[in-house]
Amino acid sequence: MKPYRSRSEVLASVIEAGGGPSELGRRLGIASQSISEWRRVPADRVIDIERITGIPRSVLRPDLHPPEPSR
């Protein structure tokens, strides 16, 4: 996954990797309608979403978890 993806692309990837809004909501213990209101992944959900989807936190919220520099 490229670090320069737009917020909407990241959210679409999160929802797809999570099995759709209903399944992702179920796994997070929240209503799927809450997910549809997100403009970006909420800070308090980053770790859980990373665990569920496998999408790295540096992609989910690069403002909070900057990518590690390449060696």
Q: Is the pLDDT of residue 13 over 60?
A: yes
Q: What is the model's pTM?
A: 0.85
Residue 70 lies in a domain: no
Residue 69 lies in a domain: no
Domain that holds residue 48: 7-60
Residue 65 lies in a domain: no
Local structure of 59: helix, strand or coil: helix
Summarised one tens digit per residue, pLDDT across range 31-59 is 999 999 999 999 999 999 999 999 999 99
pLDDT of residue 67: 85
Per-state percent for the chain, helix, strand, coil, to nearest 5 = 55, 0, 45
CATH number assigned to the domain comprising residue 47? 1.10.260.40
> Average pLDDT, whole number, for the chain?
91
Residue 33 lies in a domain: yes
